[in-house]
Amino acid sequence: MTSFGPVAPYYDELMKQVPYRMWVGYYMLLLSQQDVHPKRILDVCCGTGTMCEMLDREGMSMSGLDLAPGMIDVARQKARKKKFDIRYEVMDACSFEMNDTYDAAFSFFDSLNNILEPAGLEMAFERVYAHLRPGGSWIFDLNTAYAFEAQLFDQQDLRQNVKLRYKWQGEWDPEQRIITVNMKFWMGGEEFDEIHRQRAHDVEEVYAMLERVGFTKIRAYHSYTLNPPRYRSDRIHFTAIRPPE
Ligand SMILES: C[S@@+](CC[C@H](N)C(=O)[O-])C[C@H]1O[C@@H](n2cnc3c(N)ncnc32)[C@H](O)[C@@H]1O
């Protein structure tokens, strides 16, 4: 795997400026819009478990899954050290089986863009649906084609005084709707590379997939607002409900 491998031990350092606390607040707001008040939540593509920990502190019972063993290793180490009782598993969002059910599931920070085949994304929706109790909530975000066209991934921090330096360069293929991002990192004396690929799944296609799987009350928002997506939305949050029986 060339993504979320070598970077895993440094992921939290890289995310230091990321407003996780605001995301948790926004997640709770979207849940309240759905009138769902979960106790048991599944984080699909949980990474190093930062959102799981924050929601655990809010009183939720949390589980998380992620494809990258290195990310789950970090999540487990953090949980052990901070005494969180969170279940973490290395599993693929497209085929996972937790043998459990949840009141809600979510996937944040464009994790599902990493699934490059539309059929794979629909399988992930099916797996989530199968793990939700009737009436359960599914909330996730996706980067849009606009974000990739606007070169969102062309980023760098090469200041000498930062712990982790990086330079990323994206190549957008509008026909495939896939961006390939070449990432270079420097940490102390060490240098490593990752290649990340993301697909800009079409909003209409996403709606159709969610409906085919059986979800209802599907809504899309310009991220971190309750407004509908607009032409220049670089990220969209989707909410859906597994219908009550
Ligand atoms: C940008 S990180 C976000 C992690 C976490 N949600 C956060 O907000 O910090 C994307 C994560 O998606 C995971 N991922 C990518 N494809 C996946 C798949 N098919 N199944 C499960 N996890 C996947 C990666 O391993 C990575 O940890």
* 216 alpha carbon – ligand 1 mean position (Å): 25
Q: What is the pLDDT of residue 189?
A: 84
The residues lining ligand 1, judged by C-beta closer than 6 Å to any ligand atom, are 4, 45-47, 50-51, 66-68, 71, 92-94, 108-109, 111, 114-115
Q: Which of 20, 67, 73 has most ligand 1 atoms within 8 Å of CB, for mutation?
A: 67
* Structure tokens, 163: 């712990």
Claim to verify: residue 107 and residue 213 sit in the same structural domain: yes
Tell whether 101 and 213 lie within a shared domain.
Answer: yes
Whether 27 and 110 share a structural domain:
yes
What pLDDT does residue 2 have? 66
pLDDT score, position 52:
98
Helix ranges, the chain (H): 11-14, 20-34, 50-57, 69-82, 118-131, 145-149, 203-213
Question: CA 227, CA 144: separation in Å to the nearest integer?
Answer: 16
Q: How many helices (H) and strands (E) does the chain have?
A: 7, 11
Ligand 1 center from residue 115 Cα (angstroms): 10
Res. 1: pLDDT tops 70: no
Query: What local confidence, expressed as pLDDT, does residue 227 receive?
Result: 98
User: Which of these three, 182, 197, 212, is where a domain ends?
Assistant: 197
In sequence order, the 6+-apart residues with CB closer than 8 A to the CB of 157 are 164, 165, 166
User: 180 with 94, same domain?
Assistant: no
Residues 169 and 88 in one domain: no
* Domain of 97, in residue numbers: 8-144+201-241
Atom nearest to 15 CA in ligand 1: 9
79 and 101 in a single domain? The answer is yes
**3: in domain:** no
- DSSP, collapsed to helix, strand or coil, labels residue 234 as coil
Q: Which of 142, 2, 111, 3 is nearest to 49 (CA)?
A: 111
Task: Say how many Å lie between the first and final Cα of the chain, rounded.
Answer: 40
pLDDT digit string, tens, across residues 173-219:
999 999 999 999 998 888 999 999 999 999 999 999 999 999 999 99
The alpha carbon of 158 and the centre of ligand 1 are apart by a number of angstroms equal to 25
Residue 211: what pLDDT?
98
Here the tokens at position 164 are 């982790």
Closest Cα to atom 15 of ligand 1: 114
Whole-number Å distance between alpha carbons of 64 and 75: 9
The Å distance, Cα 191 to ligand 1 centre, comes to 22
> Is the pLDDT score of 133 beyond 90?
yes
Those residues whose C-beta lies under 8 Å from the C-beta of residue 154, and which sit 6 or more positions away, are 168, 169, 170
Residues 127 and 158 in one domain: no
Nearest-angstrom CA–CA distance, 79 and 146: 36
Same domain, 211 and 97: yes
Ligand 1, residues 11, 86, 109, 114: which to mutate, most atoms within 8 A of Cβ? 114
pLDDT for residue 41? 98
Which residue's CA is minimally distant from atom 10 of ligand 1?
111
For residue 2, is it within any domain?
Answer: no
38 inside domain: yes
For residues 27 and 78, membership in a common domain is answered with: yes
- pLDDT for 188 equals 83
The total domain count for the chain is 2
Q: Are residues 97 and 176 in the same domain?
A: no
Which of 129, 96, 104 shows the shortest CA–CA distance to 215? Answer: 129
pLDDT of residue 79: 98
| pLDDT tens track for 67-93 | 999 999 999 999 999 999 999 999 999
Residue 1 lies in a domain: no
- What dihedral do alpha carbons 206, 209, 210, 211 form, nearest 10°? 120
Sequence-ordered list of residues with C-beta below 8 angstroms from that of 188, at least 6 positions apart, any chain: none
| CA gap 114, 44 in Å, rounded | 12
Whether 223 has a pLDDT exceeding 60, the answer reads yes
Determine, yes or no, domain membership for 206. Answer: yes
Q: Are residues 31 and 111 in the same domain?
A: yes
Q: Give a yes or no: residue 170 inside a domain.
A: yes
Tens of pLDDT, residues 21-67? 999 999 999 999 999 999 999 999 999 999 999 999 999 999 999 99
Same domain, 171 and 227: no
Q: What is the CATH number of the domain that holds 21?
A: 3.40.50.150
